[in-house]
Amino acid sequence: MRTADILRFARDAATGYPLRTSLSVLAMAIGVAAVVVLTALGDGARRYVVDQFSALGSNLVIVLPGRSATGGFSPANALTTTPRDLTVDDAFALTRLPSVRRVAPLAAGNSEISANGRLREVVVAGTASTYLDIRSFRMAQGSFLPEGDWSRGAPVAVIGSKIKEEIFGSTQAVGELIRLGDRRLRIVGVLRPVGQGLGMNTDEVVFVPAAVAQSLFNTNTLFRILIEARSRGEIEAVKREVTAVLKARHGGEEDITVITQDAVLATFDRLLRALTAAVAGIAAISLAVAGILVMNVMLVAVTQRTGEIGLLKALGARGATIRNAFMAEAAMLSLVGAFTGYGLGLFGAFVLRQLYPVFPAYPPDWAVIAALGTALSTGLLFGIMPARRAARLDPVQALMKH
């Protein structure tokens, strides 16, 4: 029997019994849809976290004052205040390291901005011109902080987009004078909106030269030092060299913590990938259940069509032909179920994305391939037994059942 004929015969047989066919297709579809939606959720969570961290900038290495026993990173200690450990000179010393592309000091505190007749609380970040590139920020208007001696800051400020919006509305902000605490500063630039990062909403930050911030807060310490490695491969070298330099500068004491975005990311990435895989595994159980259902449906089909099988044998069908016809039918049920489920799953993920736009709920490729593969192979695997049973039927006995 020709392959095309076997397929057509199997298709007609499947559509000839719409109820049992649609039930097994449905079971398979639910299984696949479950895998697709659940892995979309899991992978969406992973992407969300990765995106959040990636927003920090590329090849980023962060130096924190104080020794962290685990070397780990938690948002909680990102918010704690600075021990008097890191200084602008420390930061500047790091600029000479070969593996380092850029360094930006970061001093932070809260203050009040008043301008254009309005007053509001803001986060003040004292940093340097390099900060813009390290964080991959873009300017909406004007320019970022000017280059120059880090220990002597010019009286200028760059404001986040939300502050610009709230204080100046649609009027021009660049060139305007503001009061920040007891300082009078001139706005030289406005940042494009960026959102959350490093524990603060950058759109609500006022950036000033590090020296200005330090004198504003009457301190000489830094909250962080941000370093951009020359390449991804040099992140470890940066870590090593930075630790060595700062240890030397701090009288041989290793009183800093160096964290890399990579390490943090990798942890989250691993965690969430494992979670996604676990969820996919659970959903895959429903695929196995669907496979068993296909088997039952095919067994019923063999019983229902015993007379027909006997007839086919009488008409000269080989055992293999009958087996192939039933296998093809099982494969079709699984295939149609799998692709229906795939469509349903994609639709489910789409609905999720509509409901939670920040959440990138796309099913990962591996999950889609695994789901379709499992659906097809369980369908075929569980199709073997009924198909062989059909092929082995005794034609005389089979013909009597009609």
Partner 1 sequence: MALIELAGIERVFHLGDSVVHALTRLDVGIEAGEYVAIMGPSGSGKSTLLNLLGLLDRPDAGIYRLEGRDVTTLTPDEQATVRSRRIGFVFQSFHLVPRLTAAENIALPMMLAGIGAAERAQRVATALKDFGLEKRADHRPDQLSGGQRQRVAIARATVMQPAVLLADEPTGNLDRATGDDVIHLLEALNARGMTLIVVTHDQKIGSRARRQLMMEDGELKFDSARPAAVAG
Instruction: Please choose, from the candidates 212, 265, 269, the residue with its C-alpha nearest in 3D space to the C-alpha of residue 88.
Output: 212
* Token code pair at residue 299: 């067994």
Q: Which is nearer to partner 1, 247 or 401 (CB)?
A: 401
Is 317 a binding residue for partner 1 by CB under 8 A? The answer is yes
> Nearest approach, Cβ of 30 to partner 1 (angstroms)?
27
Angstrom distance (rounded) from CA 76 to CA 67: 15
Task: Give me the least distance between CB of 302 and partner 1, in Å please.
Answer: 15
What letter represents residue 331's amino acid? Answer: A
Ordered alpha helix ranges (H), 305-364:
306-314, 319-355
Q: Which of 69, 76, 315, 355 binds partner 1 (CB under 8 A)?
A: 315
- Interface with partner 1 (CB under 8 A), residue total 25
Name the minimum Å distance from CB 393 to partner 1: 11
Task: List, in order, residues 6 or more apart from 380 with CB less than 8 Å away.
Answer: 327, 330, 331, 334
CB of 41 to partner 1, least distance (A): 42
Residues 67-96 that bind partner 1 (CB under 8 A): none
Count Cα neighbours of 229 within 13 Å in the Cβ-side half-sphere: 23
Among 26, 319, 381, 388, contact with partner 1 (rule: CB under 8 A): 319
Region of residue 256 (phi > 0: left; psi between -120 and 50: alpha; otherwise: beta): beta
Residue in 10, 124, 312, 393 binding partner 1, rule: CB under 8 A: 312
Closest distance to partner 1 from the beta carbon of 379 (Å) = 22
Please, what is the minimum distance in Å from the beta carbon of residue 300 to partner 1? 16
Instruction: Kindly tell me which of 11 and 230 has the beta carbon lying closer to partner 1.
Output: 11
Output the CA angle 225-229-235, nearest 5 degrees. 100
Instruction: Candidates 1-9, 30-38, 185-193, 349-357: pick the segment binding partner 1 (CB under 8 A).
Output: 1-9
Q: φ and ψ at 113, to 5 degrees?
A: -105, 135
Residue 271's nearest CA partner among 55, 42, 35 is 42
The residue (of 222 and 312) whose beta carbon lies closer to partner 1 is: 312
Region of 59 please: left (phi>0), alpha (psi -120 to 50) or beta. Answer: left
Instruction: Return phi, psi of residue 170, to 5°.
Output: -95, 0
- For partner 1, the binding residue among 120, 186, 192, 318 (CB under 8 A) is 318
Torsion of CA 216, 218, 221, 226, to 10 degrees: -10
321 touching partner 1, by CB under 8 A: yes
Using the rule CB under 8 A, is 316 a contact of partner 1? Answer: yes
Q: Please, what is the minimum distance in Å from the beta carbon of residue 388 to partner 1? A: 14
Task: Indicate whether 152 belongs to the interface with partner 1 (CB under 8 A).
Answer: no
Q: What is the identity of the amino acid at 255?
A: D
* Identity of the residue numbered 295: M
Residue 373 is a binding residue for partner 1 (CB under 8 A): no
List residues binding partner 1 (CB under 8 A): 1-2, 5, 9, 12-13, 16, 307-308, 310-321, 395-396, 399, 402
